[in-house]
Amino acid sequence: MMKHRAPGRLRARRAVAYVFLAFLCVLCLFFFYVLAINATHSHFEIQRGFSFLPGRSLLTNLKNVLSDANLPVLSGIRNSLIVSGMSALLAVYFSALTAYGIHAYDFKLRKAALAFILLIMTMPTQVSALGFYRLMSRMKLTDTLTALFLPSIASPTVFYFMIQYMKSNLPMEIIEAARIDGASEFGTFNRIVIPMLKPAMAVQAIFSFVGAWNNYFVPALIINSSKKKTLPILIAQLRSADFLKFDMGQVYMLIAIAILPVIVVYLCLSKFIVAGVALGGVKG
């Protein structure tokens, strides 16, 4: 009797787990559904209340957003793509390179360097904002996109994730074998280490891209000219408009436009994440 009850209990637990996971998926996707539906309604329709059915103002809202002279959306998308793409690239590559240097080399200040980087990770951005602005002013990088993505070279959070991944997935025997074969250090890193780090780099590329894409504080601190503003600044500018000029349809449409690149980046890099999870499962 116990043998017959065990499969039944297991099936019941699986059913409950699947129902709970389905509920979480619906709950997470519901907010995207609300955003997509509201982007198809006009301002007055949104004020009346939420409707589960799409409206007929999608093209009108899109036209109003793109034709607004005070809202350079196309240049904002371009600026956000440049900043986010370069931030993700610099953060992932140089953080992996730094992690490789600490992981693959044994030197006296190794533990001190690791502790120093981890201490920087605990410092909020707002604490160093004044010093960062002064540094950018001295370097004459204020009101430039370079000031938004160049600091991504030093990303303690990405570094910490990379070095933890290397400790569990990058054996020193592979690096030593490459050195014996005569490969240079950069050659070993670029040709051997990076392919092994693809799952970790893909995950951190997504996080770095999304973080830079949604960043409002630093661009608002550095950027002054309208042609160099990023999408978060434009969204805040549109939401803070005069009550008589405030259009909820345009706000939802602009937010929907801002989310699309993030979804595309995730879909492009998700296969590397799945491959990393499968690799970890096989090793486990």
23/21 Cα distance (integer angstroms): 5
Burial grade of 241 (CB within 10 A; 0-12, 13-18, 19 or more): middle
Specify the pLDDT at position 83: 95
252/57 Cα distance (integer angstroms): 12
250/254 Cα distance (integer angstroms): 6
Q: Is the pLDDT of residue 278 over 80?
A: no
Specify the pLDDT at position 97: 92
Q: What confidence tens digit (pLDDT) does each residue in 198-221 have?
A: 888 888 898 899 999 999 888 988
Polymer length in residues for the chain: 284
Long-range contacts of 235-240 (CB under 8 A, 24+ apart): 237/70, 237/71, 238/71
CB atoms < 10 A from the CB of 20, how many? Answer: 10
Task: Locate the DSSP E strands across the chain.
Answer: none
Specify the pLDDT at position 240: 66
Distance set, CA 53 to CA 2, 34, 38, 252 (Å): 51, 10, 9, 15
**Which one, of 216, 235, 191, 174, lies nearest residue 84 by Cα?**
216
Q: Return the domain boundaries, the chain.
A: 2-60, 66-283
In CATH terms, the superfamily for domain 66-283 is MetI-like (1.10.3720.10)
Average pLDDT of the segment spanning 57-64:
88
79/213 Cα distance (integer angstroms): 10
Q: Is the pLDDT of residue 243 over 60?
A: no
Q: What confidence tens digit (pLDDT) does each residue in 122-133 have?
A: 777 777 888 888
